[in-house]
Amino acid sequence: MSSIDLWKEMIAESLEQHGVMATAEQINLIAEDAAGIAESISEHSFHPADPMVHELAESQKALKREREKVACVPCHGSGFIETSGPYHGSTSQCWKCRGEGRHTP
């Protein structure tokens, strides 16, 4: 259903509710006007950013970043690097992925 059809339906319903008799042709014309009015209202009115939409976009971005992460090579994805020296071995947090095991490329 096109939006103009939706307008026609709503206009016809509204006219009927208010006891206004209109021909199909008149309803068509009114619907076209109403659609035009609605369009110019939405063009001229301020649209505050919907916080939910913003939040969703943010979490999708975060998810995308997470998906783009690659397994860390220096620590083989473990997040820690074990170094064994002649005197002592130590385990330290991976410098590349900061212990996460994965990092953004």
What is the contact surface with Zn ion in residues (CB under 5 A)? 72, 75, 94, 96-97
Nearer to Zn ion, 6 or 73 (CB): 73
Rank residues 8 and 103 by Cβ distance to Zn ion and give the closer one.
103
CA gap 18, 66 in Å, rounded: 56
Whichever of 69 and 96 has its CB closer to Zn ion, that residue is 96
Please state the closest distance from residue 83 (CB atom) to Zn ion, in A: 13
Residue 55 beta carbon to Zn ion: minimum distance, rounded to whole angstroms: 30
Which residue bears the tokens 């994805």? Answer: 77
CB of 62 to Zn ion, least distance (A): 20
Tokens for 66, please give them.
């997470």
User: Shortest CA distance to 70 belongs to which of 105, 29, 44, 20?
Assistant: 105
Helices H / strands E in the chain, number of each: 3, 4
